[in-house]
DNA sequence: CGCCAGGGCACCG
DNA sequence: CGGTGCCATGGC
């Protein structure tokens, strides 16, 4: 990977194991909009980014060197060697190969803790387009305007302080439904420092999940997603309906198993890279509708 | 129209 | 503890 700063733009050359579209659309992140093929607007860390990919080059428009080095390089996980991750995962597992090869350009984004926490509380029992809609609405109502592209305005996800301005009814106005008190509870936990990001990052994934699950509305699946996507625990293996389907289909001969059984199999089988395996499998299984009863393909 | 969605909780035995 | 119904809202 080589980085060029040209005028107001940053251009990354010789990208490996990275596809912008796959990385945005794979279901880990909800704060972005597709502008065109391989072209996206997104928001993270209080900044707005307009990015486009062509072959092994990515253009970050109107981005300074400092911003790239401080935010986007880390956000896209560009410092990590995904070749090593893939060979580790595929070394003794042929069942994973097709998922990794089809979803070859997925990287696990390093997202902000608070936004990840609230976003995945929202995600329960919802489809991705609607989660995106709610995240955009909360950002619009409580966050700061950051910029616009393709006629779409982007607002930063509110800080814990900003979101504390919303009471439960106001959160319901954002179409969060029965999750409104959950979000309210989570905001209180963060603002009252009942949970602290700094501590969650260093206490280990088991303790981290346990603390997150003290929040009403955060169960095992959401706690795993927050640990993986928002706190850097790459060994976390969240099990949702899709992972359940594809794991049962690939590793359990189609037999029914509990989420807990599937998670402990994933943790043991994929080890320190469980989160990556999970994401390849999730995106692949969902795209191919693997394990779904009324298959359309 | 009915079903299900990147679930979790309360309540039941 | 393992199973079941319910929770708001929208996409298909």
- Name the closest residue (CA) to the C1' of nucleotide B6: A240
Distance A2 CA to C8 C1' (A): 48
- Name the closest residue (CA) to the C1' of nucleotide C2: A258
- Name the closest residue (CA) to the C1' of nucleotide C12: A127
The string of pLDDT tens digits covering residues A64-95 is 999 999 999 999 999 999 999 999 999 989 99
Residue A191 to residue A159: CA distance in whole angstroms: 10
Q: Indicate whether A296 pLDDT > 70.
A: no
Distance A203 CA to C4 C1' (A): 35
Measuring from the CA of residue A177 to each C1' atom, give the nucleotide at the shortest distance: C8
**What Å distances lie between residue A150 and A35, A181, A272, CA to CA?**
6, 34, 40
Distance A13 CA to B6 C1' (A): 32
Residue A119 to residue A121: CA distance in whole angstroms: 5
Proximity of residue A214 CB to strand B below 7 A: no
Proximity of residue A266 CB to strand B below 7 A: no
Q: Indicate whether A297 pLDDT > 60.
A: no
Proximity of residue A5 CB to strand B below 7 A: no
Chain C nucleotides close to protein (CB under 7 A) are 3, 7-12
Residue A245 to residue A128: CA distance in whole angstroms: 18
Proximity of residue A241 CB to strand B below 7 A: yes
Q: Write down the pLDDT at residue A293.
A: 65
The string of pLDDT tens digits covering residues A17-68 is 999 999 999 999 999 999 999 999 999 999 999 999 999 999 999 999 999 9
Q: Write down the pLDDT at residue A295.
A: 41
Closest alpha carbon to A62 in A38, A41, A36, A33: A41
Which domains are seen in chain A, by residue range? 2-80 (3.30.310.260), 81-103+111-143+154-291 (1.10.340.30)
Residue A297 to residue A280: CA distance in whole angstroms: 20
**What Å distances lie between residue A268 and A98, A107, A198, A272, CA to CA?**
21, 22, 27, 9
- Name the closest residue (CA) to the C1' of nucleotide B9: A217
Is the CB of residue A113 less than 8 Å from the CB of residue A186? no
């Amino acid at each position: 990977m080589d980085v060029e700063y040209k005028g107001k733009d940053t251009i990354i050359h010789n990208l490996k194991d990275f596809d912008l579209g796959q990385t945005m659309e794979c279901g880990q992140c909800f704060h972005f909009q597709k502008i065109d093929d391989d072209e996206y607007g997104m928001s993270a860390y209080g900044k707005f980014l307009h990015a486009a990919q062509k072959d092994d080059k990515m253009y970050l428009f109107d981005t300074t060197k400092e911003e790239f080095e401080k935010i986007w390089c880390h956000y896209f996980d560009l410092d990590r060697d995904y070749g090593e991750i893939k060979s580790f995962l595929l070394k003794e597992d042929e069942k994973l190969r097709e998922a990794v090869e089809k979803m070859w350009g997925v990287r696990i984004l390093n997202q902000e803790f608070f936004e990840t926490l609230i976003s995945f509380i929202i995600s329960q029992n919802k489809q991705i387009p609607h989660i995106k809609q709610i995240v955009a609405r909360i950002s619009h109502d409580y966050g700061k305007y950051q910029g616009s592209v393709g006629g779409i305005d982007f607002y930063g996800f509110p800080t814990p302080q900003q979101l504390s301005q919303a009471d439960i009814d106001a959160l319901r106005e954002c179409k969060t439904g029965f999750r409104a008190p959950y979000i309210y509870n989570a905001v209180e936990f963060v603002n009252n420092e009942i949970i602290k990001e700094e501590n969650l990052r260093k206490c280990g994934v088991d303790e981290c999940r346990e603390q997150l699950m003290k929040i009403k509305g955060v169960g095992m699946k959401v706690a795993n997603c927050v640990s993986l996507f928002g706190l850097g625990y790459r060994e976390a293996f969240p099990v949702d309906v899709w992972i359940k389907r594809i794991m049962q289909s690939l590793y359990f001969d189609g037999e029914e198993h509990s989420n807990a059984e599937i998670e402990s199999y994933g943790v043991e089988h994929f080890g320190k890279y469980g989160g990556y395996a999970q994401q390849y499998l999730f995106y692949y299984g969902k795209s191919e509708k693997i394990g779904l009863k009324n298959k359309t393909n």
